[in-house]
Structure 1
Amino acid sequence: MNLLVQTSQLDLNEQIAITGSKSETNRLLLLQALFPNITLANTSNSDDSEVMQKALVGNDEIVDIHHAGTAMRFLTAYFAVNEGREVVLTGSQRMTERPIKVLVEALLQLGAQITYEKEEGYPPIRIKGQKITASKVSIPANVSSQYISALLLIAPKLENGIELTLVGEITSVPYIKMTLALLNEIGVETNFEGNTITVKPLTTNPKQQTLTVESDWSSASYYFSLVALAETATVSLTSYKESSLQGDSALVELYKEMGVTSHFEGNKLTLTKQENFDYKDIRFDLNNTPDIAQTIVVTCLGLGIGCHLTGLHTLKIKETDRLEALRIELTKLGANISVTNDSLTLVATNNINREVRIDTYNDHRMAMAFAPLGLKVPIIINNADVVSKSYPDFWDDLKKIGFFMVNKWSFT
C-alpha cells in the first residue's frame, strides 16, 4: 500500500488513544511466560508484540519472528533457559543481517547451548534450553540495550540470578532502567551501580497481580511532530504518565525547543503549539533515545531549522540502516544532510520539494516519521502498511485529525 498523505487543515484539535508501549509489553510478555500468575492490561497491538506472544505460547520447532528485532533478542535469552525445549529462531531477510553475536556470546558465558545455522554471528540460531547455574557475565554496553535487557529478564529464573558487568559506554540507559523497574514491580531485587547490574533469583512466584502497560511514547513522538509543524494545534493523548519508565518521554523536554508545550492531567497528555515561538537550530545527544531521531530530523526540516544529532550508532543495525535511509529520503525532499556512523547534521532550509515518494525500507518508523510533512507538502509514503509493526492504527488516527490519505501509486 502506497499512501498519498496531505492535509489543508493546519488547526489540529483532537484526542487520540494510543495502545500500550511495545517496549514494556514485550518485556512483560516474557516475564508473564516465566511467571504465569501475572496478568497484563493495555498491551500493545503491534505486530512485534503479537509475534512475541505467539512465540511464547507456541510449540513450533522453528520460530519465525519476521522483522521483530526486540523479539529476536528477548526470545534468544528466553529459549536458552527453557529447559527441554529446542528451537531454531529465525526471521526475515533483514533479520538474518542483524547481528546477534554479542548476546549469544554472553549466554554462552553462562553455559547456554546455542549454535548458528548459517553465518556465524547472525540468525537463524539453534537453541537447546537448559538449566543455567552460572551467574557472572560481561557484555559490551555500547551495541544495543536490548541485549542487556534480554539477560536481565531471564535472571530471576536462574538459580543464582545474574551479576552483569557492562563493558564500555552504556547505550540507551532508560531502556535498561525500564527493564529493572518492571522486574522490581513483580518483586525481583535488583541493583544497578556503576557498570554492574545485579539481579537476584526469584525463589517463589510473584503475587497474583495485574500490570497495566503505559501507552507508547515512541508512537507519541509523531504527534509532537504534528503539533510542531501545524499553524495552531492542541492534541491530547491517552494514557500517559508524567513519571514514565520509557526513555522516549524525553520528548517533553526536547520538543520545548521546537515550540511544543506538554501538560499532564490524570492519564492525559495534552500537546499545544506555542504562538510566536523563536526557532533556532538544535543540538541533541540522543544516546538514550535513538528511536526518536527520525521524527526529530523530519520535524526540523518542516520547521526550516537545522539540527545536529549525536548518539545514533545503534540506528545502523535497526530494521534498516536508519542513518543512510534518512540521508537518502531527506535528500529527495531537498535537504542538505550529512551522516556519520553515529551522528546526523541537517542544514536549515525553507524549501521542501513537493510530491516526493518516501521509501520506508520495511521500517515502521520511516513511514510514521515522514507522515507529518503532509502538513507542509503532499508526499507519498511507499509501503505504508509497515506501520503495523508498532502502531497499526496510525493512519486511521491521522484521519481523525484531518489528514487526507488515498492509496496512490504516483502523482500523475
Structure 2
Amino acid sequence: MKYAIFPPEEILQTTVNLPLSKSESARRLVIDAIGGYATAAEDVADCDDTRALMHALSMRNGHVDIGAAGTAMRFAAAFFAATEGTDIILDGIERMRHRPIAPLVEALRSLGADIEYTDADGDPAKGTEGYAPLHIRGRQLEGGMVNIDATVSSQFISALTLAAPLMRRPLRIVLEGDVTSAPYLHMTLEMLRRRGIDAALEGNDICIQGSAADITAAETPVGRDWSAASYWYAIAALSSGWVTLPGLRLGYRLQGDSVAAEIFERLGVISEQNPEDEDTGEHIDGVGLSASPEIYSRLDLDMSATPDLVPTLAVAATMLGVPFQFHGVHTLRDKETDRLDALCAEAVKLGALYEIDGDDSIGWEGRRVPIRTLPVIETYGDHRMAMAFAPAALYLPGLVIDSPEVVTKSYSGFWDDLRNAGFTITEVDEAAVNATVPSEDENPVEEQMSEKQDPGLASNIFPT
C-alpha cells in the first residue's frame, strides 16, 4: 500500500488528541503484571507494540511472537526469565532477529537465568549467539550485583530494573560506560518509585529494593506521547499554522522527548501551555503551537538522550533549509531499521545529501542534488520513518509514503489525524506513482520547494 499526501488548501489549524505514551505504557504493563494488577486497555497506548507486550505478559508457556516490538522483546525476556515456571520461546519478525540482546541475556544469566539462543522451533543447535529467538525457562533469580554495558541500549537496563521485584534479594546494577537514551532509564526508575519500589540511581550504580508484594496500584495515568507530538511540531514548523495538543505538558520530565518543544523553537515553533480557545475564551488543558519567523541558521545537537527525534528533526530542518549536525546517534543503527542509512537514502529523494561520520553523527551541510520526481519514501518497516517524512508533503504535494501502515506500531491514528487537519491522503498504485515522472527538462519538485522558501531567510539555501 502507498499513500499520496497533499497538504491542506487553507492555513492549517487543528486540534490533535495524541496517543498515550508507548514507553510509559510498556513499563506500566510490566509493573502491573508483576504486582498482580489488571491493566485496562484504555489506560495504555492503543498501538501494536502495547498489544504485543500485553499478550506476551499473559503467557507462561509456548511460543510468543513479539512482532516488531523491540521494547517488548527486552522487557518480556527479563520478565519471563525471573518468573517461576515459565517455559517460553520468545521470537519476533526477521528484523528482531538482527537486533542485539546479548548484554541483557548475559546479565540475566549471571543472576541465574536459564536462557538459550535457539531457532523458532526451540533447537539451540540452530540458534544465533546474541540474537532472538530465545528459549527461556523461568525461575526466581537470586538478585545481588550485576554489571551491564550501558552504551548499547537503556532498554536492557530498564528490563533488569523492572524484573528486580521478582528476585530473591535486592538488585544492584553497575553500569559500564555512559548510559544511552538515559531519560528512558529515569522514566523506569520513577515509575517504579511511584508504585512503592525503592529505585535509586547514584553515579553508575542502580539499587532496586522491594518485592512484588510491595507494588501498589497505579495512581498516575499514562501521559500523552511526546514522540508523537514531535511530528506535529514538524508540521507546525513547515506549515506556519496552529496546532493544539490537549493533555500535553511542557517540561514533562518523565519523557525525554519533551525536549522537542525547546529544539523546535529553533525551527520557528512557539509552544504555549494552556492556550486560550479563540472561540470560547477558555483555556485549553494542553499545549498550543504557533509559528515564529525566528529560525536558527544551523542546528548542532547532542541527540544521545533522545535519538527518536532525529528523523523528524532532520526532515524538518532539511525542508526549512537549515543545515544540521546531530551527534550521539549510534543507537539508530539498531532500531526497526538502520535509521542512519535509511535517512541518507530517503533524504536524497528530497534532494539532500546527508553525511554519516562513523556511527555516532549524521549531518547535512546544505549539499543538494536535482530531483525530478515526487519522492516515494520507503519506510523499511519503521514507523518513525513514515511519520518523520510525511510533513514534507507540505512542501512537496503528492509525496508518497510506501507501506504507511507501519505507523500502527506506535501511533495508530496518525493518518486519520492528518486528514482531520485538512491533509488529503489517497491510496495510490504503482502506475499512479510512475505517472508523476516529468520530462527531463522539467524540475517541478525544486520549483515547488523554491516557492515555499522565504528568500529573506538567512537559512534559505534552496535554489531559486
TM-score bin, normalised by smaller chain: over 0.9
- Partner of 1:83, secondary structure, is coil
Residues 5-37 of structure 1 show CA distances to partners (whole Å, capped at 9, x for unaligned) of 121536211111012100000111011110123
Give the aligned partner of residue 15 of structure 2: 15
2:318 to 297, 301, 304: 301
| CA–CA distance in structure 2, aligned partners of residues 103 and 267 of structure 1 | 40
Size of the alignment, in residue pairs? 410
1:233 to 232, 241, 260: 241
| CA–CA distance in structure 1, aligned partners of residues 381 and 209 of structure 2 | 39
* Higher RCO (CA < 8 A, seq sep 6+): 1
Give the aligned partner of residue 368 of structure 1: 387
2:413 to 388, 393, 404: 393
Larger radius of gyration: 2
The Cα shift of 1:359 comes to 0.4
> After the TM superposition, which of the residue ranges 370-379 and 239-248 deviates more from structure 2?
239-248
Counterpart of 1:306 in structure 2: which amino acid?
P
Counterpart of 2:380 in structure 1: which amino acid?
Y
Give the aligned partner of residue 99 of structure 1: 100
8 Å Cα contact 1:224-1:260 kept in structure 2: yes
| CA–CA distance in structure 2, aligned partners of residues 239 and 151 of structure 1 | 31
8 Å Cα contact 2:18-2:225 kept in structure 1: yes
The Cα shift of 1:159 comes to 1.8
The Cα shift of 1:82 comes to 1.2
2:362 to 329, 344, 355: 344
2:189 to 180, 184, 200: 180
For residues 179-328 of structure 1, what are the structure 2 equivalents within 5 Å?
179-202=188-211, 204-230=213-239, 232-242=240-250, 243-265=252-274, 267-274=285-292, 276-328=293-345
8 Å Cα contact 1:217-1:248 kept in structure 2: yes
| CA–CA distance in structure 2, aligned partners of residues 13 and 283 of structure 1 | 30
1:380 to 380, 400, 404: 400
Alignment pair present for 1:408 and 2:428:
yes
> After the TM superposition, which of the residue ranges 133-142 and 39-48 deviates more from structure 2?
39-48
Give the aligned partner of residue 89 of structure 2: 88
8 Å Cα contact 1:335-1:347 kept in structure 2: no
Distance 1:245-1:214 versus aligned 2 partners, 3 A rule: same
| CA–CA distance in structure 2, aligned partners of residues 394 and 92 of structure 1 | 23
- Partner of 1:11, secondary structure, is coil
Distance 1:296-1:122 versus aligned 2 partners, 3 A rule: same
Residues 325-370 of structure 1 show CA distances to partners (whole Å, capped at 9, x for unaligned) of 0011101221021113111011236888451110000000000000
- Partner of 2:12, secondary structure, is strand
Distance 1:131-1:345 versus aligned 2 partners, 3 A rule: same
| CA–CA distance in structure 1, aligned partners of residues 63 and 212 of structure 2 | 31
Alignment pair present for 1:165 and 2:185:
no
8 Å Cα contact 1:159-1:201 kept in structure 2: no
Residues 269-308 of structure 1 show CA distances to partners (whole Å, capped at 9, x for unaligned) of 111111x224411111000000010000000111011100
8 Å Cα contact 2:166-2:211 kept in structure 1: yes
8 Å Cα contact 2:348-2:369 kept in structure 1: no
Q: Normalising by the residue count of structure 2, what TM-score does the alignment of the two structures yield?
A: 0.85
